[in-house]
Chains A and B, each alone.
Chain A
C-alpha cells in the first residue's frame, strides 16, 4: 500500500482511533464529560482529515476500497450526524444511566461501519462494514436494558438483521459464483461480456432484501416502528441518519458500478419497492399517536421518495439523492433533538399529547419542531421542499411519470399528519406540564444552540441552496 493510499484512508483511521481513545479513557476512569468532549474533538478531527485529503482524491485502494468525492460527501454527512447525535447523547444518558460510557465506543464503532460502507467497492468490505454497523446497533438499541421496550426492540433488530445478513451473504455468493470476482468493477467487467444471467439477478435480488431492510423499505419495514420507539432517542436519530446513509451509499455505488439501471427487471423491482414504500409509509403514519413511531413511518415514505431519484440513474439523480439525504438528516436531527430536550429521566416525550401547546410553553423548541415538520412535509422555504423538488426534476428528466404521480399524491397524504402535529403544537395547553429545569446547563444550552443552528440551516438550505449544491457538484466531479 502506497503512502498516498494510506493518506486517503486517514479520516477512517482517525475514526477508528476515536473508539480506541474512548476505551482508554474509560480504562483511566475519565468522567462522562471528558469522554463527551474528547469524542466531539475526535469527530471534528475526522472532518478536518476529510478536508485535508480532499485534494488527493479520487484514490483507489485495491482491492477493498475506493475513496472518491462521493464517498467523501457521504462520510462527511455521516460524521456531521454523529456530531449532533453525540451532543444529544450527553443530556439524555446523563439523566438515565449511571454508566453511559461504553455507549460512545459503540457509537464510534457503528460510525466506522457506516463510513466503511461509503468507500466499499468489494463484497468483503461491504459485508464487514454492514456487520460493524449492525452489531453495534444491537447493543445501542438495547443500551438502556432496564426499560421496557429496549430489550424487545434490540431483540427484534437482532433477529431481523441477522436474517437480512444471511440474505446478503447468499446473494453475494450467487454473484461470486456467476462472475468469479467480488470487486464491483470486476463484476461489471464480467457482466458486459454476457447478457444478464438469472444467477446475477437472483443474487442482486437477495442483496436488495438486505439493503431494503437497512433502509426500512416496504416490505422489509416490519422492525422500524418498534425499534424507533424502543431505542433511546439519540440512537433512534443515529439509525435514522447514519445507518441509512451508509446503506444507501453502498447501494448507490454498487448500482453505479454495475449499471443496475440497464436491467429492466431491477428497475421494475425498485419501482415496486418505491411505490409500496411511499404509499404504505404515509398511510401507516396517518393515525399514529406516538411521535417516534410517526417519524419511523415517515422515514419509510422518505426513502421511497429517495428511491425515485435513485432510479433515474442520472447525474442529476445522484445530486438529488445527496441533497435529499443532507436535508433529511438535518431535519430528523432537529426533530429528535427536540424530543431529547423534552424527555425527562423517567419518561420519553414521544406521545403527541406531550407536545400540546408546546409553542406557547417553549417557543424556541416549538418553532424548531415546526420548521422540522414543515421540512419533512416539503413546504416551500424549507430544505425539504427543495430536496423534493430536485427529486421531481430528476424524475421528470427521465420521464418516470407513474412514480412521480405517486410521489406527489402520497406527499399530499403526508401533509395531513405533519400538519396534525403542528396544529397540536399550536393548541392551547389544557394541563400544566411541569418542565424540568436544565440540569446540565452547559450541555443543555449547547444542545439548544445546536438545534437553533440546525433549524436555521434548514431554512437557509431552503432559500439559498446554491452554495451547498455547488459544493456537492464539485465533490461529485472527483471520481
Chain B
C-alpha cells in the first residue's frame, strides 16, 4: 500500500530532522530510535518483513543498549534519578511517542488488512540471506569485518585518555 510507504517515509524524515536539531544527546537518541523504526516500517510496507525485523533488532536494539549504558554509567543515586526525571519530561517524549503511534497504527492496518492476492511478492527467507552472504559474498563479509576493526581501532585511539580514571566499582 503506497500510502503506508509515504507515511512511514515522512515519519522517518521528520524523526531524522529532529535528531540533528536536538541539543541533548538523550533526546536525539529517542528520535533516532523512532527514525529506525520508521525505516523498518518502510521495509515492511514494501513487503520485506525480514529486512524490517533486522532493522529493528540491529539498529533500534543497539540504541536501547546505548540507553542502558548511559543509565548504568550515570547511576549514582538519588540525584541521577531526579536528573532522569528531568530528562524525560512529557515535552521530551511526546514527540517521539506520537510518531511511534503513527507507525504502530500503520503496522496494525497492514496486519489486519485482508491479504492482497494480486501482488506477487517474493519472500526472502533468512536462509536465503545467509546462503548468499556466506556463499558468493563471503569476501564482502570479511571485508566488513576489517571495516569494523578500523572503526574500533580509530575510536579507541581518538577516545583514549591520558589520565587513568577507574570506574567507581573498581576504586575500592
Render B111-147 as a binary contact track against A, CB cut-off 8 A, 1 for contact: 0000000000000000000000000111110111011
| Chain B residues within an 8 Å CB radius of A261 | none
Given contacts A102-B157, A139-B153, contact A124 B137 (CB under 8 A): yes
CA distance A143 to B159 in the complex (A): 11
B140 to A124, Cβ gap below 8 A? yes
Given contacts A136-B154, A142-B158, contact A19 B146 (CB under 8 A): yes
A116 to B150, Cβ gap below 8 A? no
A135 to B139, Cβ gap below 8 A? no
| Chain B residues within an 8 Å CB radius of A140 | 154
A19 to B136, Cβ gap below 8 A? no
B140 to A139, Cβ gap below 8 A? no
Closest 5 CB pairs of A and B: A139-B154, A109-B150, A102-B157, A135-B150, A128-B143
A139 to B158, Cβ gap below 8 A? yes
| CB-based nearest A residue for B154 | A139
Render A229-267 as a binary contact track against B, CB cut-off 8 A, 1 for contact: 000000000000000000000000000000000000000
| Chain A residues within an 8 Å CB radius of B143 | 112, 116, 125, 128-129, 132
B146 to A143, Cβ gap below 8 A? no
Looking at the complex, which of A61-69, A417-425, A459-467 is the stretch in contact with chain B? A61-69
| Chain A residues within an 8 Å CB radius of B138 | 1
| CB-based nearest B residue for A9 | B139
A135 to B151, Cβ gap below 8 A? yes
| Chain A residues within an 8 Å CB radius of B73 | none
Is there a chain A Cβ closer than 8 Å to B149's Cβ?
Answer: yes
Is there a chain B Cβ closer than 8 Å to A106's Cβ?
Answer: yes
Give the most central of B140, B146, B156, B158: most A CB within 10 Å: B146
Q: How far is the CB of B82 from chain A (nearest CB, A)?
A: 34
| Chain A residues within an 8 Å CB radius of B150 | 106, 109-110, 132, 135-136, 139
CA distance A112 to B147 in the complex (A): 10
Interface SS majority for chain A:
helix
Is there a chain B Cβ closer than 8 Å to A452's Cβ?
Answer: no
A143 to B147, Cβ gap below 8 A? no
A-B contacts counted at CB < 8 A amount to 67
CA distance A79 to B45 in the complex (A): 47
Render A102-122 as a binary contact track against B, CB cut-off 8 A, 1 for contact: 100110011010001000000
In-complex Cβ contact of B157 among A23, A116, A135, A139 (8 A): A139
Given contacts A109-B146, A131-B147, contact A64 B154 (CB under 8 A): no
CA distance A142 to B147 in the complex (A): 18
CA distance A124 to B132 in the complex (A): 13
Given contacts A16-B146, A116-B143, contact A64 B137 (CB under 8 A): yes
CA distance A64 to B151 in the complex (A): 23
B140 to A64, Cβ gap below 8 A? yes
| Chain A residues within an 8 Å CB radius of B146 | 16, 19, 109, 112, 132
CA distance A142 to B157 in the complex (A): 10
Given contacts A138-B154, A139-B157, contact A64 B139 (CB under 8 A): yes
| CB-based nearest A residue for B151 | A135
Is there a chain B Cβ closer than 8 Å to A54's Cβ?
Answer: no
A-B pairs with beta carbons under 8 Å apart, 9 shown: A19-B146, A23-B149, A65-B139, A102-B153, A106-B154, A109-B153, A128-B143, A129-B143, A145-B158
Q: How far is the CB of A136 from chain B (nearest CB, A)?
A: 5
| Chain B residues within an 8 Å CB radius of A129 | 143
CA distance A65 to B155 in the complex (A): 30
CA distance A154 to B153 in the complex (A): 15
Given contacts A112-B146, A135-B151, A139-B158, contact A62 B140 (CB under 8 A): no
| Chain B residues within an 8 Å CB radius of A124 | 137, 140
Contact residues of A between 133 and 165, Cβ < 8 Å to B: 135-136, 138-140, 142-143, 145, 154
Render A167-206 as a binary contact track against B, CB cut-off 8 A, 1 for contact: 0000000000000000000000000000000000000000
Given contacts A125-B143, A132-B143, contact A19 B158 (CB under 8 A): no
In-complex Cβ contact of A125 among B140, B151, B156 (8 A): B140
A128 to B147, Cβ gap below 8 A? yes
Render A87-106 as a binary contact track against B, CB cut-off 8 A, 1 for contact: 00000000000000010011
With A132-B147, A154-B158 already in contact, 14 other A-B pairs whose C-beta atoms are closer than 8 Å: A19-B149, A63-B137, A64-B139, A105-B153, A106-B153, A106-B157, A109-B149, A110-B150, A112-B146, A124-B140, A128-B140, A128-B144, A135-B147, A138-B154
A62 to B136, Cβ gap below 8 A? yes
CA distance A28 to B136 in the complex (A): 36
Q: How far is the CB of A64 from chain B (nearest CB, A)?
A: 6
Contact residues of A between 330 and 356, Cβ < 8 Å to B: none
Q: How far is the CB of B62 from chain A (nearest CB, A)?
A: 18
Q: How far is the CB of A274 from chain B (nearest CB, A)?
A: 32
CA distance A102 to B149 in the complex (A): 11
